[in-house]
Amino acid sequence: MDHLSNLEAESIHIFREVAATFERPVMMYSIGKDSSVLLHLALKAFYPSLPPFPVLHVDTGWKFREMIEFRDKRMAEVGVKLLVHRNEEAIAKGINVFNNGSGVHTDELKTVALRQALDMHKFDCAIGGARRDEERSRAKERIMSFRNQHHRWDPKRQRPELWHLYNTRIAPGESVRAFPISNWTELDIWQYIKRENIPVVPLYFAKQRPTVVRDGQIMMVDDDRMPMLPGEKPEMRMIRFRTLGCYVLTAAVESTAANIDEVVYETLSARTSERAGRMIDYDKPGSMEQKKIEGYF
């Protein structure tokens, strides 16, 4: 078997273990390229059945408009059940990145929102699209990552995980985060998207888009909620995104890669990591680990 087929088989195996051993699993869907691959793998794993779990999108209200359009179209095509959850309380309070900074924004609109959704539906396993090559604390995480009653990760006491034998046993109230694409790299993701012809949000492909430059990062001006700083005026630039999150927290890269082949080629020669465009990773050293301990993916 070739490399991508090996990765695919391992991921499908993990999906099936989750479906067979948990009572109420759910698949996290964040609309990005990794989620697109995750969804495709789930469809493959259970065919001719549909995936035996719903899909959950934790919506901060600050996603790019094209992402939401893509989500709704894609869900209708594949026919899986989509749950959308927002931390309405925080949104009502007006919490956002401009008023509260990226730390509070991510904590309230993503981490707290996720915990709310998991508690509300009593999900005992949440499948996520995190990859070990994204960030060094993720490189430390198990494929089946145990969480206590408060959704907390204890990086110092992870269960040993040998071979492909996953310990999915938990007590009531505890849960597991399962990561079927742990061992994929960014390049694997793009090559698989190409091989399997998987639809992705058009923002991954280069196009002229309205932008501003802040702290050396190129930000796309997606709608009028983004306040312009004095003297700032949106300028058109040829850009694309390597990762997609909240538009206010995700920087674009200048690029001419307008189709899948060009994106694969650009990924092969990249000199910076894809998460270089994610502001939340840089709040302080160990930032991602702390967020994960608190329940973020």
What does the binding site for other proteins look like in residue numbers (CB under 8 A)?
Answer: 1-6, 8-9, 12-13, 16-17, 19-20, 43-50, 132-133, 135-140, 149, 155-156, 158-165, 167, 169-174, 182-183, 185, 187, 191, 261, 264-265, 268, 270-273, 275-276, 285-286, 289-290
Shortest approach of other proteins to residue 145 CB, angstroms? 12
Shortest approach of other proteins to residue 291 CB, angstroms? 12
For helices 3-21 and 186-196, the axis angle rounded to 10 degrees is 90
Instruction: Name the amino acid, one letter, at 13.
Output: H
The Cα 164–Cα 182 span in angstroms is 13
Shortest approach of other proteins to residue 271 CB, angstroms? 5
Backbone angles phi, psi at 212, to 5 degrees: -130, 160
- Which of 95, 280 has the CB closer to other proteins? 280
User: 26 pairs with which residues across the strands?
Assistant: 126
What residues have CB less than 8 Å from 266, skipping those under 6 apart? 255, 257
Shortest approach of other proteins to residue 122 CB, angstroms? 14
Is residue 209 within 8 Å of 223, Cβ to Cβ? Answer: no
- Which of 92, 165 has the CB closer to other proteins? 165
- Which of 156, 233 has the CB closer to other proteins? 156
- Which of 109, 244 has the CB closer to other proteins? 244
Is residue 28 within 8 Å of 127, Cβ to Cβ? Answer: yes
Shortest approach of other proteins to residue 76 CB, angstroms? 20
Q: Buried b / exposed e across 52-69, counting CB within 10 Å, b at 16+?
A: ebbbbbbbbbbbbeebbe
Output the CA torsion 214→216→221→227 (10° steps).
-10
- Which of 213, 236 has the CB closer to other proteins? 213
End-to-end, the C-alpha distance of the chain in Å comes to 31
H or E segment to which residue 127 belongs: strand 125-127
Count the alpha carbons within 13 Å of 67 in the hemisphere toward its beta carbon.
23
The Cα 60–Cα 244 span in angstroms is 13
Shortest approach of other proteins to residue 277 CB, angstroms? 9
Shortest approach of other proteins to residue 115 CB, angstroms? 18
- Which of 70, 184 has the CB closer to other proteins? 184
- Which of 236, 270 has the CB closer to other proteins? 270
Shortest approach of other proteins to residue 57 CB, angstroms? 24
- Which of 94, 285 has the CB closer to other proteins? 285
